[in-house]
Structure 1
C-alpha cells in the first residue's frame, strides 16, 4: 500500500511517497542508515532479533522524494514477545530501524513512516509492536513502557527505552520472558545481508 504526503514549511513544500521497500533500495537504505545512525547500529540488542531474518511480510517501507531519492526507511520484524501464562509464545512485531536522511529531518517523514507502518501492521492483523527508542518521540504514536514490564530484550537495553504498542487490546497482558526471533529466515547469507542490514 502506498501513501503520498506533502509537508509544507515556511517557503518550502516537499512531497514524498511511502512505498513498499524494493530490493533496489538496499544500497541507498544502507547508506541512509549509516548516515542517520552511525557505525554502532549493528551492535544493538535489536539486531540480535533481526540477524539472518527477513522483515515481516508486507511491512518494510521506504519514503521517497519527488525525484526518487530515498529519504526514510522503516521495517518491522516477526518476533515472540516471550510467552503467555500458559507457556504459549506471544507473536508480535519489532519495529526498527526507523531512519530519516539527515538532510530531510523535520519534514514529518519519520512520523508518516510510523503511522503508515502501524496502520499496515494493524490491517494485517498483528497484535502488538515493540521497539527500543525514545519515549518522548514514540509516545505520540501510542507507545509506552507499561506492557513490557515482564519482558526483556536479548541483550543490554536502557529499560526506559523499551516500549510497546498493542494493536489488539490485551495482546501483551500475560507476556513474560525474553524476546526471540520468529520471522522467516533468509535463504542465504547474501540475502540476509541484503534484507536485514
Structure 2
C-alpha cells in the first residue's frame, strides 16, 4: 500500500496493481465517470481501438477497501514510416473524489518505471504540459511527429526513456501490438 502526503495530510492508502481481465467493467465505468462521454472520440482512441495495452503496462490503483480509484495504460505504437516503436500513454484517470492526492502521480511514476524496466524507448501522450512536465514530458520532442485525427500540437508530449530515442523520429503514429479478440454472440 502506498500513502501519499499532500499538504501535510495523508492521502488514503492505495495499492498499484497490474490490471487483470476482471477489471474491465470497473475500469470502463471509472473512465466514463472521469473522462465523460466524449472520451471515445479522441485521436488517441483511434490508436487504442481494437488493441490490447502493451504487455505488462496496464495498472489500476485500489483503495484499502479494494475499490478501483485510478487507472493508467500504455499502448504499442509505431512512429511514422521509419518503424521505430514507442508507447502511447492513456488514459490516466483518478476518481474525482481522490483527485489531487498523489494517486495519478504514483500511477505515472509506476508506469514510467515499468516501461523503462521493460526497455521501451519512449512514451508519448496527449495531455496538459503543466501536469505531465513534472515527469519529464515535453512538446519539444514531438515537432516532427503527429497523431491521426485532430489534436492540439502543444499537448502532444513525449518522454525519452533512452536518450536520443526520438531524435530522428517523424511521421504519424500507427497502432501496433496485440489485437483485441472480439467475441460475438451467435444464436
Decide: shared fold, TM above 0.5. yes
Distance verdict in 2 for CA 1:11–1:120, change over 3 Å? closer
| Corresponding residue to 1:128 among 116, 122, 142 | 122
SS of 2:12's partner is strand
Q: Matched residues in 1 for 2:3 and 2:113: separation?
A: 19
| Corresponding residue to 1:56 among 50, 54, 57 | 54
Q: Matched residues in 2 for 1:178 and 1:123: separation?
A: 26
Q: Deviations over 1:108-157 (max 9, x none)?
A: 00000000000000000000000000000000000001111000000100
| Corresponding residue to 1:77 among 75, 78, 100 | 75
Report the counterpart of residue 6 of structure 1 in structure 2.
3
TM-score, structure 1 as length reference: 0.89
Q: Which stretch of structure 1 is more off in the superposition, 179-188 or 113-122?
A: 179-188
The structural deviation recorded for 1:12 is: 4.8
TM-score, structure 2 as length reference: 0.94
1:115 and 2:85 aligned: no
- Contact 1:166/1:172 (8 A) holds in 2: yes
Structure 1: gaps of 5 or more residues? 191-197
For these two proteins, the number of residue pairs brought into alignment is 183
Report the counterpart of residue 155 of structure 2 in structure 1.
161
Q: Matched residues in 2 for 1:141 and 1:13: separation?
A: 20
SS of 2:2's partner is strand
Q: Deviations over 1:3-61 (max 9, x none)?
A: x3102456654100000001111111111111111000000000010000000000000
Q: Aligned runs of 1:147-186 on 2, under 5 Å?
A: 147-186=141-180
The structural deviation recorded for 1:187 is: 2.1
* 4+ residue segments displaced more than 4 Å: 9-13
Report the counterpart of residue 19 of structure 2 in structure 1.
21
| Corresponding residue to 2:96 among 96, 99, 102 | 102
